[in-house]
């Protein structure tokens, strides 16, 4: 009992010398139980030095005749591997002996330890597995472990032999006939998880799982149905034999089993069984919790997409359950499913839209109502008889709450805009709204005026449509910030000036240079700021005020290594005709105060740049970051590149740390910083687009440039992709920067805004040509052909 | 769980949700496969969900409040099911839990999502039967609380730091019983008695010289 106490308290070894020495004595005592427990406790509280002292005893314990002691030592070894691997690895011989032990669990523990020790050595694991699969493994749990290691070996020896049989597959199949259920199940599961498993290989495993499905033990049924569910995702045909057994599971007491059975059946069902399945599911849905219901809804959606002819019954089912009680997530899932079905199965559109309209009649979730109204606005006008939906929409304007009214008015206007025949009717309705509450009245006025409420039935202009109904690319946060910063003046607010990127770091306070540090609680050296802050800062400096609009600020680049006396990083601000380098400096030496800090920049390797101004930093006391600026002129609109070497020059004054008073005399000193490059990627703003294909189509091929490049030998496809993305400095869209392993080709979609506010879209296709060579096809679309050419230039020279 | 509108793919191709579920399971399995089966916790609760004896072996629940929240939630989820004849199973918060009820005690064993459920059941059965042996057949809350030390020793002998030590109920009960025989003389006293005995021997010998 005391052992348990010590383990719970787990003190560190140096605190409790007495306890450890008693424990060490116990390790050699005659009573086996004491030995075992002392080992376990000691290994829990030991550290490296103590471990070497007791190592001898532990090695003896591993091969001890008493299985309890041996198990204790081995399990402790497994734990110790995390902290002192080298010591444990020295015990390999003893552990090897223990694997041959007659005691069942000792073998299990020894096997686990040996595998962990030799994990990274593939050959050793292979040998271990081969010897044991031929020998005898005494306990079922050790057999399970062996099955897991075997699957690992199979996975790593990925090459299938000529005969098509994997190594060790026979062993796994043999295990399917073992006595213990856990071994059978582990083997069946391992077979189903083999990479690229064929139906022939799966059949014995599935037969076994099918037997489990009808067991009286819920655990077996659950395990079997979960595995079959997984198999059904990739090999639905293989699982169809089990359908009958699974149908009986739908009414199982355990709801998890029932849900898994239903979802599997939905995946493996064929068209004829769909109706029968639907009937059973309807009874079932009322019993289960919301989270299960969502899973079922998703499965029904995929089923409907698989069998589009059945959309009527499935759609009816979905709308029925929509009408019943349910939480927000659940109803949202159903609405999403209906929307997807409408989009992809044209025949289902009419019925689907009507179902949705009926739903919003008494939907309690505002969010869903507005989503549906918006969706109606998009899809409704395209149907054969849009006027059907007007009634539903108009009703929304007088019931419900303000958000829904607003949505309804917008949708109504959209109908009017898209469908010319309906325009006069829509205008009548909109005019009625002019006497309504704020949201409705303002919107109605806007729409009436822009859509030409004089009653003429004319085609609505495309730009009007775009203005009213086009989507807003700008993140709302940035719009809010820009509006707050906008001061009312003659110049109207320019929406294109709102930055499109979302900067996650919050605005940090900047200390004005010259203030004494406020003690140990000083803020971190380089504050990160949003684009707004940079703009404000730069425009407050008179020398830079007339550079125009800031195009892009790069993230801070370190110019010094960590732990140096002065930490400096630089932010590159790109304007149309100028570049400003902002050097954020921090002095980490308490005994020094720096004054008149400037950076001498040598631009000899950057011919197109000419220095025009610099702003020194008056004073840089300890631990209070400050900024100094150097501005260069460059040719307008040209993405000039160059390399700059930097030297920090300042006057250093000694400071008495106790009083904080600086001396009067100072010494001039210099400090070399690292070089700084301005590259082509600096002229590109990373701006993502949510739907690349739409943007690509709408950009038009007028200024498209396509070319092919060989990138030469590369480490991997992923490395080549990353290199090109970094070189261009554009934003990868739709997750295309992630290259799946082992793929021989990849398409990457990039978007950005080039200097001069030109939108650019790039489609890169990579292919592995031979073992290492990477070939790339680059297609660029932009609004300006010089820009497209420029992009190709960048890649060609990069 | 977030659901997003996805562009539907042609039939036969799994949807994003399928892939997500499959990935989740695959990741869980990949984490488990090739590694030693490990137990995340063993719980013994009473018929109202209060603790009798619990042991956690995983970092998923670091604070006591997290542990108690888990126990409460788990209890309310499994309360209404009938797990008296056969062990039942449930999935909860990315764990697999097997459980069994007897009289007014609820036994739970938790493992990772991709773990072999039958191994978990073997551990549960071992624990359940060992407690039955130790409490001499009367497996109920009062008896358990009176013999809490035996139960705690039992938990200690089944799983060590997440690794399964023993699953055979009689072996477990045997180990616990041999502990309690020596329980009367705790560890430090033993060595001190031994030291005193050695000292006495030395004294006697020197006196006799």
- pLDDT tens-digit readout, A132-165: 877 777 788 888 888 888 888 887 775 544 344 5
Q: Which residues pair with A609 in a beta bridge?
A: none
A179: CB partners within 8 A, 6+ apart: A140
Q: A653 and A721 in contact (C-beta within 8 Å)?
A: no
Q: Could you tell me which chain B residue has the CA closest to the CA of A148?
A: B34
CB contact under 8 A, B3 and A336: yes
pLDDT of residue A503: 47
Q: A297 and A330 in contact (C-beta within 8 Å)?
A: yes
When pLDDT is cut at 50, 70 and 90, the band that residue A522 belongs to is very low
Which one of A7, A76, A233 has the shortest CB-CB distance to B14? A233
Q: What is the pLDDT of residues A636-692, one digit of tens each?
A: 766 777 788 888 888 888 877 777 677 777 788 888 888 888 877 777 777 777 677
pLDDT of residue B9: 39
Q: A572 and A630 in contact (C-beta within 8 Å)?
A: no
Q: DSSP characters for A39-85? A: HHHHHHH--HHHHHHHHHHHHHHHT-SSHHHHHHHHHHHHHHHHH-H
pLDDT of residue B203: 66
| CA angle A741–A742–A747, rounded 5-degree value | 70
Residue keyed to tokens 């072999």: B116
Q: How far apart are CA A600 and CA A668, in angstroms?
A: 14
- Among A109-118, A691-700, B153-162, the minimum mean pLDDT is found in A691-700
Q: What is the pLDDT of residues A562-621, one digit of tens each?
A: 777 788 888 888 877 778 888 888 888 877 888 888 888 887 777 777 787 788 877 777
CB contact under 8 A, A148 and B22: no
- Among A624-628, A675-679, A791-795, B197-201, the minimum mean pLDDT is found in B197-201
CB contact under 8 A, B163 and A109: yes
Confidence check: pLDDT of A21 > 60: yes
| Percent of chain A clearing pLDDT 90 (strictly above) | 0
pLDDT of residue A526: 31
Q: Could you tell me which chain B residue has the CA closest to the CA of A119?
A: B34
Q: What are the angstrom distances between the C-alpha of B59 and each of A81, A330, B53, B117?
A: 18, 32, 18, 21
pLDDT of residue A776: 82
Confidence check: pLDDT of B96 > 80: yes
* Element (DSSP H or E) covering residue A628: strand A626-633
pLDDT of residue A421: 73
Tell me the mean pLDDT in the region A286-311: 77
Q: Could you tell me which chain A residue has the CA closest to the CA of B6?
A: A340
- Residues of A with Cβ-Cβ distance to B1 under 8 angstroms: 294
Residue B149 forms contact with A (CB below 8 Å): yes
Q: How far apart are CA B4 and CA A339, in angstroms?
A: 12
pLDDT of residue A638: 67
Pick A95 or A462 by higher pLDDT. A95
The mean predicted confidence, pLDDT, of chain A is: 75
Which one of B88, B90, B156 has the shortest CB-CB distance to A4? B156
pLDDT of residue A511: 33
Q: What are phi and psi of A650, to 5 degrees?
A: -160, 170
Quick one: CA torsion of B54, B57, B62, B68, rounded to 10 degrees?
-20
Q: A677 and A643 in contact (C-beta within 8 Å)?
A: yes
ipTM of this predicted structure: 0.73
Residue A152 forms contact with B (CB below 8 Å): yes
- Residues of A with Cβ-Cβ distance to B25 under 8 angstroms: 230
Q: How far apart are CA A39 and CA A58, in angstroms?
A: 7
Token pair recorded at residue A204: 């014995």
C-alpha closest to that of A109 among A126, A123, A95: A95
Tell me the mean pLDDT in the region B14-29: 47
CB contact under 8 A, B118 and A219: yes
pLDDT of residue A463: 59
**Helix extents (H) in A571-663:** none
The 3-state DSSP class for residue A25 equals: helix
| Percent of chain B clearing pLDDT 70 (strictly above) | 69
Q: What is the pLDDT of residues B54-78, one digit of tens each?
A: 888 888 888 888 888 888 888 888 8
pLDDT of residue B201: 66
| CA angle A141–A147–A151, rounded 5-degree value | 150
Q: How far apart are CA A642 and CA A606, in angstroms?
A: 4
| Percent of chain A clearing pLDDT 70 (strictly above) | 80
Confidence check: pLDDT of A512 > 70: no
C-alpha closest to that of A683 among A568, A786, A602, A779: A786
C-alpha closest to that of A38 among A29, A49, A48: A29
- Residues of A with Cβ-Cβ distance to B122 under 8 angstroms: 141, 182
A334: CB partners within 8 A, 6+ apart: A297, A318, A321, A322, A326
Q: Is A388 exposed, middle or buried (0-12, 13-18, 19+ CB in 10 A)?
A: middle
Q: What are the angstrom distances between the C-alpha of A127 and each of A6, B52, B170?
A: 40, 46, 35
pLDDT of residue A744: 74
Q: How far apart are CA A96 and CA A742, in angstroms?
A: 36
Token pair recorded at residue B12: 């036969």
The C-alpha of B66 sits at a distance from chain A's nearest C-alpha, in angstroms, of 19
Tell me the mean pLDDT in the region B79-83: 80
Q: How far apart are CA A536 and CA A541, in angstroms?
A: 9
The CA-to-CA distance between both ends of chain A, in Å, stands at 70
- Residues of B with Cβ-Cβ distance to A343 under 8 angstroms: 8
Confidence check: pLDDT of B4 > 70: no
Confidence check: pLDDT of B116 > 80: yes
Pick A748 or A532 by higher pLDDT. A748
When pLDDT is cut at 50, 70 and 90, the band that residue A452 belongs to is low
Confidence check: pLDDT of B18 > 50: no
Which one of B8, B117, B119 has the shortest CB-CB distance to A305? B8
Q: B100 and B87 in contact (C-beta within 8 Å)?
A: yes
Range 195-224 of A in CB contact (< 8 A) with B = 216-220, 222-223
When pLDDT is cut at 50, 70 and 90, the band that residue A31 belongs to is low
Residue A125 forms contact with B (CB below 8 Å): no
Token pair recorded at residue B67: 């542990």
Q: How many C-beta atoms surround the C-beta of residue A741 within 10 A?
A: 8
pLDDT of residue A466: 60
pLDDT of residue A516: 36
Tell me the mean pLDDT in the region A175-179: 83
A168: CB partners within 8 A, 6+ apart: A129, A133, A150, A153, A154
* Element (DSSP H or E) covering residue A644: strand A642-654
pLDDT of residue A504: 42
Token pair recorded at residue A238: 């293989």
How many CA atoms within 13 Å lie on the side-chain side of A131?
A: 9
Tell me the mean pLDDT in the region B117-136: 88
When pLDDT is cut at 50, 70 and 90, the band that residue A520 belongs to is very low
When pLDDT is cut at 50, 70 and 90, the band that residue A465 belongs to is low
Q: What are phi and psi of A750, to 5 degrees?
A: -125, 150
Q: What is the pLDDT of residues A239-280, one digit of tens each?
A: 888 888 888 887 777 878 888 888 888 877 777 777 777 777
pLDDT of residue A19: 67
pLDDT of residue A464: 60
Residue A252 forms contact with B (CB below 8 Å): no
When pLDDT is cut at 50, 70 and 90, the band that residue B179 belongs to is low
The 3-state DSSP class for residue A601 equals: strand
Tell if the pTM clears 0.80, that is, is over it.
no
Chain A interface mutation, best of B114, B115, B134, B163, highest count of A Cβ atoms under 10 Å: B163
When pLDDT is cut at 50, 70 and 90, the band that residue A373 belongs to is confident
When pLDDT is cut at 50, 70 and 90, the band that residue A20 belongs to is low
Q: How far apart are CA B180 and CA B149, in angstroms?
A: 9
Q: What is the pLDDT of residues A703-718, one digit of tens each?
A: 777 888 877 777 777 7
When pLDDT is cut at 50, 70 and 90, the band that residue A532 belongs to is low
When pLDDT is cut at 50, 70 and 90, the band that residue A495 belongs to is low
Token pair recorded at residue A465: 């449509």
A778: CB partners within 8 A, 6+ apart: A706, A707, A708, A709, A762, A763, A764, A791, A792, A795
Q: What is the pLDDT of residues A188-241, one digit of tens each?
A: 888 888 877 777 888 888 888 888 888 888 888 888 888 888 888 788 788 888
């Amino acid at each position: 009992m005391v052992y348990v106490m010590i383990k719970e308290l787990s003190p560190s070894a140096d605190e409790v010398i007495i306890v450890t020495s008693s424990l060490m004595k116990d390790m050699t005592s005659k009573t086996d139980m004491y030995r075992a427990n002392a080992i376990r406790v000691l290994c829990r509280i030991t550290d490296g030095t103590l471990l070497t002292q007791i190592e001898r005893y532990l090695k003896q314990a591993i091969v001890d005749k008493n299985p309890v002691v041996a198990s204790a030592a081995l399990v402790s070894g497994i734990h110790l591997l995390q902290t002192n691997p080298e010591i444990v690895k020295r015990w390999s011989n003893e552990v090897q002996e223990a694997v041959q032990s007659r005691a069942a669990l000792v073998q299990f523990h020894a096997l686990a330890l040996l595998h962990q020790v030799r994990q990274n050595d593939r050959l050793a694991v292979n040998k271990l597995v081969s010897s044991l699969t031929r020998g005898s493994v005494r306990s079922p749990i050790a057999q399970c472990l062996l099955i897991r290691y075997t699957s690992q070996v199979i996975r790593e020896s990925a090459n299938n032999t000529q005969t098509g049989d994997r190594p060790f597959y026979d062993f796994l199949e043999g295990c399917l006939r073992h006595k213990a259920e856990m071994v059978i199940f582990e083997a069946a599961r391992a077979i189903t998880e083999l990479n690229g498993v064929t139906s022939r290989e799966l059949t014995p495993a599935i037969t076994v799982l099918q037997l489990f499905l009808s067991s009286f033990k819920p655990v077996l049924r659950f395990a079997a149905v979960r595995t079959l569910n997984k198999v059904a995702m990739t090999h639905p045909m293989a699982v169809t034999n089990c359908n009958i057994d699974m149908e009986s599971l739908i009414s199982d007491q355990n709801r998890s089993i029932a849900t898994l059975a239903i979802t599997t059946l939905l995946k493996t069902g064929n068209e004829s069984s769909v109706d029968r399945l639907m009937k059973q599911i309807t009874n079932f849905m009322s019993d289960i919790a919301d989270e299960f219901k969502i899973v079922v809804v998703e499965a029904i959606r995929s089923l409907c997409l698989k069998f589009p002819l059945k959309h009527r019954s499935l759609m009816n089912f979905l709308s029925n359950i929509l009408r019943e009680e349910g939480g927000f997530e659940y109803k949202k899932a159903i609405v999403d499913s209906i929307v997807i079905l409408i989009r992809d199965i044209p025949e289902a559109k009419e019925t689907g839209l009507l179902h949705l309209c009926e739903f919003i009649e008494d939907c309690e979730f505002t969010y869903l109502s507005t989503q549906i109204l918006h969706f109606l606005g998009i899809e409704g006008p395209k149907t054969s008889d849009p006027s059907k939906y007007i009634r539903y929409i108009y009703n929304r304007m007088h019931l419900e709450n303000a958000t829904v009214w607003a949505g309804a008015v917008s949708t109504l206007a959209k109908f009017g805009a898209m469908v010319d025949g309906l325009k006069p009717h829509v205008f009548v309705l909109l005019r009625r709204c002019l006497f309504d509450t704020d949201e409705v009245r303002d919107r109605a006025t806007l729409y009436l005026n822009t859509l030409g409420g004089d009653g003429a039935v004319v085609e609505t202009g495309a730009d009007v449509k775009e203005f009213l109904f086009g989507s807003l690319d700008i993140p709302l946060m940035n719009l809010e910030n820009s509006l707050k910063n906008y001061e009312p003046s003659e110049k109207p607010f320019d929406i294109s000036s709102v930055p499109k990127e979302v900067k996650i770091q919050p605005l940090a306070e900047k200390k004005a240079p010259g203030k004494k540090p406020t003690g140990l609680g000083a803020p971190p050296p380089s504050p990160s700021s949003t684009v707004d802050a940079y703009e404000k800062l730069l425009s407050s400096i008179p020398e830079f005020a007339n550079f125009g609009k800031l195009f892009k600020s790069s993230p801070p680049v370190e110019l010094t290594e960590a732990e140096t006396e002065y930490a400096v990083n630089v932010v590159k601000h790109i304007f149309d005709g100028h570049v400003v380098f902002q050097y954020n400096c921090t002095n980490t030496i308490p005994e020094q105060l720096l004054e008149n800090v400037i950076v001498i920049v040598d631009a000899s390797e950057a011919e197109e740049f000419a220095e025009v101004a610099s702003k020194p930093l008056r004073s840089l006391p300890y631990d209070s970051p400050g900024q100094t600026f150097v501005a260069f002129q460059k040719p307008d609109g040209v993405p000039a590149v160059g390399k700059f070497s930097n030297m920090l020059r300042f006057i250093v004054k000694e400071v008495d740390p106790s009083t904080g008073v600086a001396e009067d005399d100072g010494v001039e000193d210099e400090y070399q910083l690292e070089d700084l490059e301005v590259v082509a990627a600096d002229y590109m703003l990373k701006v993502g687009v949510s739907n690349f294909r739409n943007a690509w189509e709408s950009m038009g091929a007028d200024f498209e440039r396509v070319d092919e490049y060989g990138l030469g030998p590369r480490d991997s496809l992923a490395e080549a992709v990353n290199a090109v993305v970094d070189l261009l400095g554009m934003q990868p869209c739709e997750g295309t920067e992630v290259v799946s392993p082992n793929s021989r080709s990849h398409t990457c979609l990039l978007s950005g805004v080039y200097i001069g506010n030109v939108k650019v879209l790039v489609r890169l296709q990579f292919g592995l040509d031979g073992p290492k060579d990477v070939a790339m096809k680059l297609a660029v679309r932009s609004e300006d052909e010089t820009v497209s050419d420029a992009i190709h230039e960048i890649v060609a020279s990069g | 769980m977030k659901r997003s509108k996805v562009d539907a793919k042609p039939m036969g191709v799994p949807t994003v949700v399928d892939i997500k579920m499959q990935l989740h399971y695959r990741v869980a399995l990949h984490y488990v496969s090739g590694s030693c089966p490990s137990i995340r916790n063993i719980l013994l609760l009473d018929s109202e969900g209060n603790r009798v004896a619990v042991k956690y072996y995983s970092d998923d629940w670091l604070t006591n409040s997290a542990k108690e929240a888990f126990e409460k939630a788990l209890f309310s989820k499994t309360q209404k099911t009938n797990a008296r004849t056969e062990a039942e199973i449930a999935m909860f918060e990315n764990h697999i839990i097997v459980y069994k009820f007897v009289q007014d005690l609820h036994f739970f064993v938790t493992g990772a999502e991709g773990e072999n459920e039958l191994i978990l059941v073997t551990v549960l059965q071992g624990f359940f039967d060992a407690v039955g042996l130790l409490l001499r057949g009367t497996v109920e809350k009062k008896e358990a609380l009176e013999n809490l030390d035996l139960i705690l020793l039992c938990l200690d002998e089944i799983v060590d730091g997440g690794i399964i030590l023993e699953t055979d109920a009689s072996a477990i009960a045997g180990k616990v019983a041999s502990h309690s025989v020596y329980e009367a003389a705790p560890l430090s006293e033993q060595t001190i008695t031994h030291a005193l005995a050695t000292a006495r021997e030395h004294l006697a010998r020197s006196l006799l010289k």
